[in-house]
């Protein structure tokens, strides 16, 4: 298992980096790495890991759903509540019905088996959609109307509905017809799963904030560990007691944390972003390893036709109904095509269930489910960032809902006076806090020996901080402002006075920079 873990992480990471350098989504490389390492390829993943692949995928999905919940905007959801609710039901239902009707002619399935296939294919993938939507929120695309929030919420509700219908159809097929009355309770079951899922997330958020108040958790690692365990517990309980949605409960957990303790939610965003780096590799590499290439040949052409019919004939109708009489213009509605179509996680989790239960047509269902992953997951991951700038409007980002981590550069302006040491010390302190780079600027025509001494101080005080030392000529104030603009610095750090022989409280250079700088200036 250790060797398998090594192969999964290293090859998955390497393949992801290669794919990104070829201008393709990283998950394409991860899926291909999984196919290469899996039973269909080099067979380098141990049977024990493959046997527990479903549980490992669940762990990865829990991480990504927590990230989704911690990034939801309550105000935008109120604004788009009707659209989000409709997106949670209409597109998936329309697509499932269109696929069921088409499967009767393409594969000669009966109505129930066709609906079973429709449920598997119409589920939306949080593993593709959530990272894509969070990236759009981080960059500001569509945030003014809460488009990403509506898609995230609708996707979670959609999976609740689809998994409920899927379970009822399995009971109908595998048990006596006397149990068919359960179909009539579908609406009640969906409402119960949504309500209890929200309640479970609410209680988990209350518990975590209580632990934070009582100082049981002293560090970020403690907070992330406890939050991840509570989220995983919600998913495990939901699998054992199928009366509430574990997916929705985990997302609600993150959502309520924003309301109860915003500082804690911000810290957890940082921690879960780090967890996702590993979870993403595990999720998509194991997804690729589970794809059975030997049965894809049975259903490639009819499967592609079926996916196209479901998308064009079903899902697009659902999108039109979902956004009817909303404030979305036609380009924003068109964005649902790349933004709300990817399939991966749910298909990998339930695609093989009909075959394992010896349901007639189970092999075809598995083949089409695998085909949907190979086609729509990479396509969706590529299309979301590609078409968002063309179809959505960019607005200012709300940093209270997403992690905004632009590259931070600090400009430390120093001379050869005694003030250089405290300036460098303050720049190093701030850089370590914010993981920033430092540009050390010396604008003067001093003797080379003095400049060498200043460089020596810089190397010593900024030893563990990425930094550059620059010497420029000309007007000192103008050189500082020009360098700050050139390096896109977020802050200028300089001494309160200039050279030691200048008696003024604030030197002329400091006054000039303060008067004209468009970015914050810290005087030491």
Could you give the CA distance from residue 464 to residue 456 in angstroms, rounded to a whole number? Answer: 14
Give the residue carrying structure tokens 């402002």: 481
* Residue 479 Cα distances to 293, 414, 474, 509, 516, angstroms: 62, 12, 7, 11, 12
Could you give the CA distance from residue 138 to residue 136 in angstroms, rounded to a whole number? Answer: 5
Using alpha carbons, select from 195, 294, 293 the residue that is nearest to residue 244: 195
Domain boundaries, the chain: 2-391, 409-523
* pLDDT at residue 178 in the model: 45
Give the residue carrying structure tokens 């992480």: 9
Give the residue carrying structure tokens 């945030």: 143
Contact by Cβ (8 Å): 137, 71:
yes
Q: Residue 54 burial (CB < 10 Å; 0-12/13-18/19+)?
A: middle
User: pTM here?
Assistant: 0.78
* pLDDT at residue 27 in the model: 82
* pLDDT at residue 343 in the model: 87
Q: Do domains 2-391 and 409-523 have the same CATH topology?
A: no
* pLDDT at residue 284 in the model: 86
Q: Residue 303 burial (CB < 10 Å; 0-12/13-18/19+)?
A: buried
Which two structure tokens, joined as six digits, stand for 121?
A: 């294919």
* pLDDT at residue 498 in the model: 54
Could you give the CA distance from residue 87 to residue 207 in angstroms, rounded to a whole number? Answer: 31
Which two structure tokens, joined as six digits, stand for 364?
A: 């075809």
* pLDDT at residue 225 in the model: 94
Could you give the CA distance from residue 56 to residue 337 in angstroms, rounded to a whole number? Answer: 30
Could you give the CA distance from residue 247 to residue 239 in angstroms, rounded to a whole number? Answer: 10
Contact by Cβ (8 Å): 145, 327:
yes
Give the bridge partners for 442, in sequence order.
Answer: 471
Strands 491-494 and 409-413: parallel
* pLDDT at residue 499 in the model: 45
Q: Which CATH architecture has domain 2-391?
A: Up-down Bundle (1.20)
Q: For residue 504, what is the DSSP state?
A: S
Helix (H, G, I), strand (E, B) or coil at 169: helix
Q: How many residues does the chain have?
A: 524
Q: According to CATH, what is the number of the domain 409-523?
A: 3.40.50.620
| Long-range CB contact pairs, 10-14, < 8 A, 24+ | 11/36, 11/37, 11/285, 12/281, 12/282, 12/284, 12/285, 13/281
* pLDDT at residue 218 in the model: 84
* pLDDT at residue 411 in the model: 96
* Residue 501 Cα distances to 417, 471, 497, 504, angstroms: 9, 22, 10, 9
What's the sign of the alpha-carbon dihedral 500, 501, 506, 511?
negative
Using alpha carbons, select from 226, 236, 181, 220 the residue that is nearest to residue 54: 236
Contact by Cβ (8 Å): 167, 97:
no
Instruction: Render each residue's pLDDT in the chain as its tens digit; 524 residues.
Output: 899 999 999 999 999 999 888 877 788 899 899 989 988 888 899 998 888 887 888 888 889 889 888 888 888 888 887 898 899 899 999 999 999 999 988 888 988 889 999 999 998 888 889 888 988 988 889 988 889 999 998 888 888 888 878 877 877 777 654 445 555 666 777 788 888 889 999 999 999 999 988 878 888 899 999 999 999 999 899 888 877 888 889 999 999 999 999 999 989 998 998 898 898 899 889 888 877 777 677 678 888 999 999 988 899 999 999 999 888 999 999 999 988 888 887 887 788 788 878 888 888 888 888 888 888 888 888 899 999 999 999 988 877 777 766 678 999 999 888 888 999 999 999 999 888 999 999 877 667 788 888 999 999 999 999 999 998 887 788 889 999 999 999 999 998 865 443 444 556 888 889 999 999 999 99
Contact by Cβ (8 Å): 388, 136:
yes
Could you give the CA distance from residue 39 to residue 293 in angstroms, rounded to a whole number? Answer: 10
* pLDDT at residue 505 in the model: 52
């Amino acid at each position: 298992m250790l060797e398998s873990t090594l192969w999964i992480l290293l090859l998955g990471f390497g393949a992801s980096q290669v794919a990104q350098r070829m201008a393709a989504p990283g998950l394409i490389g991860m899926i291909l790495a999984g196919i290469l390492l899996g039973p269909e390829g080099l067979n380098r993943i141990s049977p024990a890991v493959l046997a527990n692949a479903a549980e490992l995928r669940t762990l990865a999905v829990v991480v990504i759903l927590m990230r989704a919940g911690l990034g939801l905007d309550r105000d935008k959801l109120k604004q788009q509540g009707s659209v989000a609710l409709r997106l949670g039901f209409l597109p998936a239902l329309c697509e499932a019905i269109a696929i069921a009707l088409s499967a009767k002619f393409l594969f000669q399935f009966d109505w129930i088996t066709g609906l079973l296939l429709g449920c598997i294919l119409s589920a939306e993938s949080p593993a593709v959609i959530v990272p894509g939507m969070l990236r759009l929120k981080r960059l500001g695309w569509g945030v003014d109307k809460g488009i990403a929030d509506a898609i995230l919420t609708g996707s979670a509700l959609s999976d609740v509905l689809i998994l409920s219908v899927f379970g009822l159809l399995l009971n109908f097929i595998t048990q006596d017809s006397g149990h068919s009355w359960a179909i009539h309770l579908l609406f009640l079951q969906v409402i119960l799963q949504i309500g209890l899922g929200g309640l479970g997330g609410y209680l988990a958020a209350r518990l975590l904030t209580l632990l934070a108040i009582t100082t049981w958790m002293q560090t970020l690692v403690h907070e992330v560990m406890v939050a991840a365990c509570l989220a995983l517990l919600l998913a495990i309980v939901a699998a054992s007691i199928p009366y509430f949605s574990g997916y929705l409960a985990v997302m609600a957990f993150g959502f309520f944390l924003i309301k109860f303790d915003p500082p804690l939610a911000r810290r957890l965003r940082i921690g879960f972003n780090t967890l996702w780096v590993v979870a993403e590799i595990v999720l998509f590499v194991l997804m690729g390893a589970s794809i059975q290439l030997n049965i894809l040949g049975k259903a490639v052409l009819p499967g592609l036709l079926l996916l196209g019919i479901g998308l064009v004939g079903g899902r697009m109708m659902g999108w039109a109904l979902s956004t009817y009489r909303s404030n979305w213009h036609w380009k924003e509605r068109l964005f649902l095509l790349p933004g709300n179509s990817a399939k991966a996680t749910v298909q990998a989790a339930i695609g093989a269930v009909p075959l394992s239960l010896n349901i007639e047509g189970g092999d075809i269902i598995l083949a089409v489910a695998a085909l949907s992953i190979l086609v729509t997951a990479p396509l969706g991951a590529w299309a979301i960032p590609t078409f968002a700038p063309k179809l959505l409007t960019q607005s200012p980002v709300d940093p209270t809902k997403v992690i905004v981590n632009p590259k931070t550069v600090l400009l430390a302006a120093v001379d050869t006076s005694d003030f250089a040491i405290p300036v460098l010390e303050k720049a190093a302190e701030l850089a370590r806090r914010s993981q920033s780079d430092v540009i050390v600027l010396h604008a003067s025509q001093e003797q080379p020996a003095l400049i060498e001494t200043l460089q020596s101080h810089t190397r010593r005080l900024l030893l563990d901080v990425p930094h550059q030392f620059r010497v420029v000529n000309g007007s000192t104030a103008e050189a500082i402002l020009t360098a700050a603009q050139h390096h896109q610095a977020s802050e200028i750090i300089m001494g309160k006075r200039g050279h030691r022989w200048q008696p003024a409280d604030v030197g002329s250079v400091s006054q000039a920079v303060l008067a004209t700088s468009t970015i914050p200036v810290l005087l030491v």
